[in-house]
């Protein structure tokens, strides 16, 4: 069993796929290593690649705002991506890049062992929840898979592009906070903020 630090150190020098050639920094993920809630995005964008930090650009600001809006702090959750290195020009990650990199995410999930996993957008949801998922139809639905409560919502960058997605996105965040509260009630004393 690795530690998160060991995994990060490996990812910092990873050359398992071609993306290392064009990345500035790998983006491992950040947050509370004992978080109850884990968010999974697609992969680093321009700002994340430059800073080596997860969700720090415009979509990251929206994610932070949505979390704070429902009483959750960014520091209390864990945020990671399907791929750890930026795909040039924000193209979609290629199947072989995702297949190679998702091993790190699996380790992160195993080590953090959150109660709730939220997939931000189609790429994350297809890799983690169901390869045939249709976000527009299935966002906001909870399912328990392998002992984790999982839900997909829109990617914050999709919400920034389309104001009609704002309300459902907000509703999904309220549902995440409510599910967290419910799980903490059922399992008193077992939540990471207690
Ligand atoms: N979009 C993502 O999917 N992940 C990030 O870290 C930033 C933007």
Ligand 1, pocket-test mutation among 45, 90, 91, most atoms within 8 A of CB = 45
Q: Which residue is it, tokens 């328990």?
A: 144
Q: Residue-wise pLDDT tens for the chain (194 aa)?
A: 889 999 999 999 999 999 999 999 999 999 999 999 999 999 999 999 999 999 999 999 999 999 999 999 999 999 999 999 999 998 999 999 999 999 999 999 999 999 999 999 999 999 999 999 999 999 999 999 999 999 999 999 999 999 999 999 999 999 999 999 999 988 776 777 55
Q: How far apart are CA 146 and CA 117, in angstroms?
A: 11
Ligand 1, pocket-test mutation among 39, 53, 81, most atoms within 8 A of CB = 81
State pTM to two decimals. 0.96
Q: Which residues line ligand 1 (CB under 6 A)?
A: 27, 41-45, 48, 54-55, 59-60, 81
């Amino acid at each position: 069993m690795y530690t998160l630090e060991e995994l990060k150190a490996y990812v910092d020098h990873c050359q398992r796929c071609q993306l290392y050639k064009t990345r500035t920094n790998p983006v491992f993920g950040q947050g509370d290593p004992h978080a109850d809630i884990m968010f999974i995005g697609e992969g680093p964008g321009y700002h994340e690649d430059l800073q080596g930090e997860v969700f720090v650009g415009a979509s990251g600001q929206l994610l932070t705002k949505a979390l704070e809006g429902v009483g959750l702090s960014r520091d209390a959750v864990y945020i990671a991506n399907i791929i750890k290195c930026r795909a040039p020009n924000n193209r979609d990650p290629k199947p072989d890049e995702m297949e190679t990199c998702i091993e790190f995410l699996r380790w992160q999930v195993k080590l953090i062992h959150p109660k709730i996993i939220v997939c931000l957008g189609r790429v994350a949801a297809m890799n983690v929840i169901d390869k045939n998922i249709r976000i527009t139809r299935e966002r906001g639905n909870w399912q328990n898979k392998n002992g984790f409560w999982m839900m997909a919502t829109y990617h914050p960058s999709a919400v920034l592009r389309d104001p009609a997605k704002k309300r459902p996105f907000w509703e999904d965040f309220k549902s995440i906070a409510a599910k967290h509260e419910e799980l903490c009630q059922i399992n008193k004393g077992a939540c990471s903020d207690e």
